[in-house]
Every structure is written in structure tokens, then in C-alpha cells.
Amino acid sequence: MQEVIVALIGACAALYLAWRYMPGAWRRALAAKMAAGGQRAGLVNEQGAQKLAATLSKSSGCGACDSCSPTCASKGQAAPNQKEPTEVPLTRMR
């Protein structure tokens, strides 16, 4: 029984890793197909399917360069949807 649980955890980790590092276009297309399949199966309604597709197709902020334009990356600027880093003054500790 323990081997089955470990195998399931390993399979989930492999699926997450594949989803995380999948190209953005593939991720968006697969998310739309998964949401449409859930709607056809009756698991979610149309609004829920659209929300599911939007949630699944989002990429993380760090390391997801598919949402950043090449000019931002080359100039070292933040992506348009990201906030600039906040500077915090350092004080001398005694």
C-alpha cells in the first residue's frame, strides 16, 4: 500500500513539473481543452469552465517569460504586469 501512495505522489509531482515548465502556448491550449472537457462531462457550467481555463493558463511570476516582451527582458525592466521592487532602507544595527 505504501508503494502505491509513493507512486501516486511521484506521478503528481511529475505532472506538476511538466505543467510548470510547459511552454505558455501549450499550457493555455491544454487548459482550454481541460475546461471544455469538464464542461462536457457536467462537472462545471460555462462560467466555471471559463474561470477554470483562465486559472489553469496563468503562469507564475518568476521565470515565466512568455508574458514578458523581449524589450523588457533586454533592458532589465519589469514586465508590464509586475510591480517594481520596493526599496527598503537599511539601518545600522547595534
Domains of the chain, by residue range, sit at 23-57
Q: Over the stretch 5-57, which tens digit does the pLDDT of each residue have?
A: 999 999 999 999 998 888 888 888 888 888 888 888 888 888 888 887 787 77
Give the global pTM. Answer: 0.50
Identify the burial level of 16 via C-beta atoms within 10 angstroms of its C-beta, where 0-12 means exposed, 13-18 middle and 19 or more buried: exposed
Q: Over the stretch 64-93, which tens digit does the pLDDT of each residue have?
A: 455 555 544 444 455 555 567 777 666 766
Contact between 19 and 27 (Cβ < 8 Å)? yes
